[in-house]
Structure formats: structure tokens, C-alpha cells
Amino acid sequence: MNRIFSGVQPTGNLHLGNYLGAVRNWVTLQNDYECVFCIVDMHAITLWQDPAALKAHTREVAAAMLAAGVDAKKHILFNQSQNPDHAQLAWIFNCVARIGWLNRMTQFKDKAGKNRENASVGLYAYPNLMSADILVYKATHVPVGEDQKQHLELARDTAQKFNSDYGVEFFPLPEPLILGSATRVMSLRDGAKKMSKSDESDYSRINMTDDADTISLKLKKAKTDPLPLPDSVEGLEGRPEAANLLDIWAALSDGTRAAAIERFAGRQFSEFKKELTDLAVAVLGPINSEMKRYLADPAAIDAVLKSGAERARALSAPILAEAENLVGFLRP
Ligand code: AQP
């Protein structure tokens, strides 16, 4: 069976973008793939995280994934730092990947901002750790958003160079899986920016922990424009906030943008937002209650992550051992 590796950073609460663009699809993929789901805490610290918050967010993300339907018994769910094989292989990849490759990564440029000299070395080398996350399990497929496509290309280049440097077809070249209608959910405050955990404004996103009243308030305050909703796809041109809200409707209802436009053509945002709120609450409400149930028992979440890490290491250890042998590391 093909194997999937998927990662999510515990840099905050999961939001609607993470759910519609990633977690919901992962739940579906469980039927057809062997899945390794990883809460990538080592990636999270490439930007400073408050230590207590990092631990809390790791549990929250685990709870959100379990509540959304991740099956941690049949598949694997763990936090990255509990399996040291990722870091071990990442070092080998630091020596395989070329500086020129990393220099081309646009996410580093975005995240490091203007003060690049002051960015952490980890933020720069992050794509090599991501390559190791995937290849330490010889994963064949990786569900990725648009923003991670370049990193996956780098993982493929690294696998290929490793194979050629050591003269064996050892690592598979992982394939991207781009799924779902809402691959990019935008901020509720600015239709040109993606919905993000690290956005300063909590009103920019719907968190998976938000209750019905909060969802309603956030959608009420969501930025719109003065026109009624359009009656054609062309009518959305230059209206990113309207497009985003219609796309959210489409994704939550398992429909298309065209169907959403047809349904709400000519209606006022106030009416549309009421229906959107009802739909969002209907979809997220049950997940929210499940999450609360999981979070009430942190020890049970820790046990899931520990068992997941042990099973993850059982998969990665022989692959890492063989990679080290190929590189020439002596293991008397
Ligand atoms: N707005 C989004 N729309 C659709 N998919 C999204 N994802 C993230 N934001 C959106 C997808 O969620 C998965 C996990 O993402 P991540 O937590 O590893 O990192 P991220 O993409 O950097 O997410 P955030 O929320 O923007 O976090 P911060 O603010 O910490 O950078 C990925 O599959 C991602 O595509």
C-alpha cells in the first residue's frame, strides 16, 4: 500500500484553513493509504515559540486531528521530536542538498522578511528536515498545499541526488497530492492573505476551538464589499473577500464555487453570512465538542502520541540504518 506523510505545525490552534485545506482530506486518505500524521514541533521552533504554549498547542492540534476523524489506532499520529530519526536523516540531507537549492525557497524569504541575517539557521534548513520527515518513512505521497509544493520538489531532488551519490535507487521520489476544493482559505480580514495561525488578529480566522457564538461574530465582522453577491464567476473579479466566503461555503457544503454563486446570486452579504454561519456551526460544532472531550484528558492524548512515536520509529529505524550504511557510517 502507498504511504503518506502529512505534517502540521503546532504554532497555534488549527483553523478552518487547516481543516478544509488539509485535515479533512487526510481523514479521507486514510481509506486508501497507510498514513503517518506528524505534529511537526521541530519545524515550529524555527520561529521562537513560547515553551508552555508549544506543549499546549501540540496537545490541541492532536485533539483537533483526533476529533476530525484521524484514526490513530489504524494509522500513526505523533509529534516529530519524539522520533529522533528525522533529525538524524536531516543531517545527512544537509550534506546532500545544495545551498543554491535552499536559496531559491520562497517561503524562507517570506518568513525571514527583511532581516534575513537574523533568521535562525533552522528556518533556512527547514526544507531539508521536511525532506527527512517524508523520506525517513519512504513515503510515496505527500498531500501539500500550494505553499509547500516547492519544498516537495526539493525533497524529490534530494532523494534523487542521494540515490545518484550512493549509486542505488534507495529513496522513492514522493508525489504531491493536491486535494479538495478549498486548497487555500483566505483571511476573513483580507481576501489577499491566507488564513493563518500566526496572524495577529483572531478575527482573521475561524479556529477549530471556536464556539457557535464566536463563529457567528467572526463571520459577521468578516470583510466584504458593498455590492450584493454576483450571479456569475466573472462577477467575482476584483472581489477577493466575496470569493473567499463563497469558496468556504462551497467547501463546507462539499459543493463548488459555481453552485454557491447560483444559490446566493443577487443576495445581500448579511443574509448569506447567516446561512454560512449555520453551515460552519453544523460542520465544526461536533468536532469542537469532540475536541473538548479529548482535551479534558491530556494524559490520554500524550499516550496516543507516545504510542504513535514508537510505531513511527519502528518504520523509520531500518530505513535510517540502511541510509547510514550507504553513506558509510560504521556500526560495529
Ligand atoms: N489558509 C489555508 N488554506 C488551506 N490550507 C491551509 N493550510 C494552512 N493554512 C491554510 C494547510 O494546513 C496544513 C498544515 O499547515 P501548517 O500548520 O504546517 O503550516 P502553515 O501552512 O504555515 O499554516 P499556518 O496556519 O499559516 O501556520 P503559521 O501561521 O504558523 O505559518 C498544510 O497542508 C497547509 O497547506
CB count, 10 Å around CB of 262?
12
The secondary structure element, H or E, covering residue 274 is helix 269-295
Say yes or no: 224 and 171 in one domain: no
The total number of structural domains that make up the chain: 2
Residue 123 C-alpha to ligand 1 middle, in angstroms? 16
ipTM over 0.85: yes
In short, whether 13's Cβ falls inside 6 Å of ligand 1 is: no
Reported as a single tens digit per residue, the pLDDT across 101-122 is 999 998 898 888 888 899 999 9
- Per-residue pLDDT at 181: 56
d(CA 39, CA 117): 28
Which of the listed residues 8, 11, 14, 18 should we mutate to test ligand 1's pocket, taking the one with most ligand atoms within 8 A of CB?
18
Say yes or no: 54 and 168 in one domain: yes
Reported as a single tens digit per residue, the pLDDT across 188-224 is 999 999 999 889 999 999 999 999 999 999 999 999 9
What average pLDDT does this structure show over 298-309? Answer: 98
Nearest CA owner, ligand 1 atom 23: 196
What CATH number does the domain containing 269 carry?
1.10.240.10
Which residue range is the domain that position 225 belongs to?
Answer: 210-293
User: Confidence class of residue 32 from pLDDT cuts 50, 70 and 90?
Assistant: very high
Cell numbers placing 87: 533529525
Q: Is residue 205 part of a domain?
A: no
Q: Find out whether 43 and 80 touch, Cβ atoms under 8 Å.
A: yes
Q: Reply yes or no on whether the pLDDT at 98 is more than 60.
A: yes
User: Confidence class of residue 182 from pLDDT cuts 50, 70 and 90?
Assistant: low
Catalytic residue from among 55, 73, 109, 111: 111
Position in ligand 1 atom list of the atom nearest CA 11: 30
Residue 164 C-alpha to ligand 1 middle, in angstroms? 33
Strands (E), the chain: 3-8, 34-39, 76-79, 141-143, 175-177
What average pLDDT does this structure show over 29-41? Answer: 97
In short, whether 184's Cβ falls inside 6 Å of ligand 1 is: yes
Say yes or no: 10 and 112 in one domain: yes
User: Confidence class of residue 324 from pLDDT cuts 50, 70 and 90?
Assistant: very high
Q: Is residue 199 part of a domain?
A: no
Q: Is residue 192 part of a domain?
A: no
User: Residue ranges for the binding site for L-tryptophan?
Assistant: 133
- Per-residue pLDDT at 146: 73
